[in-house]
């Protein structure tokens, strides 16, 4: 999740037009489109397989301090608490942030090519594994915490998470599981104008369940099989229906920035950031805020930074800010990190591929899209859709994505184009076996029902 830093106050958000203009300011010409990859990892002690708390000589804070000392990261503070890391000005590398349960996240820099994404991922993993080895800390790449109960999972000392923790149980059954026990890979991609945004949003919403199926890696809960291939995805269905889902209104006539703003105005807020503190306003709408009707801040009007903050607390399958954020994938190891970004870049950043992807999904009804979203967490690639399976749809989507990446003609030092990052997904889809299927087979086979083996075989 986003990390807020103090700075000069932004202009007031006085009208809906201001909110629309804030999103529209993200428009970029094609040659300025970038790729921003985010990936989360569960953090555990290698000798006990217990989760790592924030405090202590070998805690999360110590992990961040060692990264600062050894690799020149800089701290981002909330009061006296280190809550994130950033690179020194002018240096590449993105930011490192903490999810509520201590999931360690790299929010990558905006990069031009997937080869740069691979290099960034390599560097990050080398750094955290180097420091982690000295501290007896390991990193696990799956979509849901496979062993620890919610009570066993530590809480990171970020004020916004405290607000969310109080509010989540009021609006859904699994909001705390979402916060504390899930991990994901995401990619942020640009759009040229409003029409380009709408087309990309529709394609990526429709195909998000296909990504969920391919990246499914969360079949375990508290040491046993949970009946899902992607429990992470299923948890989102029971988190908060007002701020999650497939955005069916964005497939209707008149879809665009204004329609998304109207949706966001009525999604309940969590907090307002003022003077270094998060003020709990959970349940009030941004529309209330625009009218000066927040009981916690009577008469006060929002700034554009408040609007930006609010948009980060909406959790649809694809999120619109000043870019589009793909949110459907479980966490995974190195090949999956680069593959997720490759899949969406190939589909969305080449005009011919985007047209082909739209042709694939444009006849799907809202009911079909929602039915696919509902079924995929349990069945993954075996999910039926019309007269085919999701495995077949994934093969079609991967072929389109590969053509799009080939058309981009971005080569690494070995002369490989970016489609090389799809190879692991091609193999997976041909076999019909996701990471979740492989995990279940190992658990029921050579692991003899012991979940502890996952920490050796699926860690980074």
SS3 115: helix
Is residue 300 assigned to a domain?
A: yes
pLDDT at 258: 98
Question: What is the tally of structural domains in the chain?
Answer: 1
The token duo for 201 is 């949003």
CA distance 167 to 371: 28
What CATH number does the domain containing 246 carry? 3.30.590.20
CA angle 456, 72, 187 (to 5 degrees): 60
Cβ-proximal residues to 263 (8 Å cutoff; 6+ apart), any chain: 247, 249
Kindly report the average pLDDT of the chain as a whole number.
97
User: Distance between CA atoms of 147 and 224, rounded to whole angstroms?
Assistant: 8
Q: How many CB atoms lie within 10 A of CB 345?
A: 26
Residue 419 belongs to some domain of the structure: yes
Reading phi first (left if > 0) and then psi (alpha if -120 to 50, else beta), residue 450 is in: beta
Looking at the predicted structure, is the pLDDT value of residue 369 above 60? yes
The percent of residues in the chain predicted with pLDDT above 70, rounded, is 98
The model's pLDDT over 402-447, given as tens digits with 9 standing for 90+, comes to 999 999 999 999 999 999 999 999 999 999 999 999 999 999 999 9
How far is residue 178 from each of residues 74, 213, 335, 439, 449, measured CA to CA in Å? 28, 18, 24, 21, 25
Residue 9 banded pLDDT, cuts 50, 70, 90: confident
pLDDT at 93: 78
Average pLDDT value for residue range 273-287: 96
pLDDT digits (tens, 9 = 90+) for 103-143: 999 999 999 999 999 999 999 999 999 999 999 999 999 99
DSSP notation for 354-409:
HHHHHHHHTT--HHHHHHHHHHHHHHGGG-EETTEEHHHHHHHHHHHHHHHHHHH-
Q: pLDDT digits over 285-319, tens only? A: 999 999 999 999 999 999 999 999 999 999 999 99
pLDDT at 5: 59
Say if 8 falls within a structural domain: no
Cα separation, 74 vs 72, in Å, equals 6
Mean pLDDT confidence for 217-230:
98
Q: Residue 129: what pLDDT?
A: 98
7 found inside a domain: no
Q: What are phi and psi of 334, to 5 degrees?
A: -50, -50
Instruction: Please tell me the distance from the alpha carbon of residue 125 to that of residue 104, in angstroms, as a whole number.
Output: 11
Give the model's confidence band at 90: pLDDT under 50 very low, under 70 low, under 90 confident, else very high. Answer: confident
User: Nearest-CA neighbor of 272 among 291, 298, 296, 292?
Assistant: 296
Task: Name the CA dihedral angle for 176, 45, 39, 327, rounded to a multiple of 10 degrees.
Answer: -20
Q: Is the pLDDT of residue 210 over 90?
A: yes
The predicted structure's pLDDT at residue 92 = 78
Residue 3 is assigned to a structural domain of this protein = no
What are the CA-CA distances from residue 132 to residues 69, 148, 338 (Å)?
A: 13, 20, 22
User: What's the confidence (pLDDT) of residue 6?
Assistant: 59
| Interior angle at CA 285, CA 279 and CA 286, nearest 5 | 80
pLDDT for the residue numbered 4: 57
Tell me the per-residue pLDDT of 175-185, one tens digit each, with 9 for 90 and over.
Answer: 999 999 999 99
pLDDT of residue 33: 98
Query: Where in the sequence is the domain holding 294, given as residue range(s)?
Result: 16-457
pLDDT at position 220 is: 98
Q: Which residues in 66-115 belong to E strands, given as ranges? A: 74-78, 81-86, 95-98, 104-107
Closest CA to 34 of 109, 93, 95, 103: 109
List pLDDT tens digits, range 69-83: 999 999 999 999 999
Query: How far is Cα 183 from Cα 99, in angstroms, rounded to an integer?
Result: 9
Rounded to whole angstroms, the Cα distance separating 245 from 363 reads: 19
* Inside any domain, residue 4: no
Does a structural domain hold residue 63? yes
CA distances (Å), origin 263, targets 75, 133, 198, 291: 35, 46, 15, 17
pLDDT at 333: 94
Q: Are the CB atoms for 290 and 304 separated by under 8 Å? A: no
Residue 338 lies in a domain: yes
């Amino acid at each position: 999740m986003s990390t807020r830093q103090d700075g000069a106050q932004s202009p007031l958000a006085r009208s809906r037009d201001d909110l629309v203009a804030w999103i529209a300011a993200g428009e970029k010409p094609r040659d300025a489109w970038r790729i921003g990859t985010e990936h989360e990892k569960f953090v555990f002690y290698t000798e006990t397989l217990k989760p790592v708390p924030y405090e202590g000589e070998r805690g999360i804070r110590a992990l961040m301090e060692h990264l600062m000392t050894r690799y020149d990261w800089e701290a981002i503070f909330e009061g006296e608490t280190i809550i994130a890391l950033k690179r020194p000005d002018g240096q590449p590398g993105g930011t490192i942030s903490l999810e509520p349960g201590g999931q360690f996240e790299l929010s990558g820099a905006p990069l031009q090519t997937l080869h740069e994404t691979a290099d960034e991922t390599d560097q990050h993993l080398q750094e955290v594994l180097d420091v982690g080895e000295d501290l007896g800390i390991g990193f696990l790449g799956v979509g849901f915490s496979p062993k620890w109960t919610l009570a066993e999972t530590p809480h990171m000392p970020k004020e916004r998470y405290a607000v969310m923790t109080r509010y989540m149980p009021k609006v859904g059954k699994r909001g705390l599981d979402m916060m504390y026990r899930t991990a994901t890979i995401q990619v942020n991609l640009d759009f040229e104008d409003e029409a380009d945004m709408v087309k990309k949003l529709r394609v990526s919403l429709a195909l998000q369940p296909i990504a969920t199926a391919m990246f499914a890696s969360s079949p375990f809960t508290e040491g046993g099989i949970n009946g899902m291939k992607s429990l992470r995805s299923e948890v989102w269905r029971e988190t908060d229906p007002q701020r999650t889902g497939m955005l069916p209104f964005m497939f209707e006539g008149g879809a665009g920035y204004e329609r998304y703003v109207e949706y966001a105005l009525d999604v309940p807020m969590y907090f307002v950031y003022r003077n270094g503190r998060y003020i709990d306003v959970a349940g009030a709408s941004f529309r209330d805020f625009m009218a000066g009707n927040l009981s916690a801040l009577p008469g006060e009007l929002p700034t554009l930074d408040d609007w930006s903050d609010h948009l980060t607390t909406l959790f649809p399958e694809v999120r619109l800010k000043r870019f589009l954020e793909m949110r459907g994938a479980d966490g995974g190891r190195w090949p999956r990190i680069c593959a997720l970004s490759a899949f969406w870049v190939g589909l969305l950043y080449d005009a011919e591929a985007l047209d082909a992807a739209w042709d694939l999904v444009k006849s799907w009804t809202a009911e079909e899209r929602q039915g696919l979203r509902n079924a995929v967490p349990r069945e993954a690639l075996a999910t039926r859709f019309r007269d085919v399976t999701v495995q077949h749809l994934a093969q079609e989507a991967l072929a389109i994505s590969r053509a799009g990446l080939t058309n981009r003609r971005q080569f690494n030092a070995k002369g490989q184009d970016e489609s090389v990052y799809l190879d692991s997904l091609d193999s997976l889809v041909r076999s019909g076996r996701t990471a979740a299927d492989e995990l279940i087979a190992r658990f029921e086979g050579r692991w003899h029902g012991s979940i502890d083996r996952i920490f050796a075989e699926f860690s980074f």
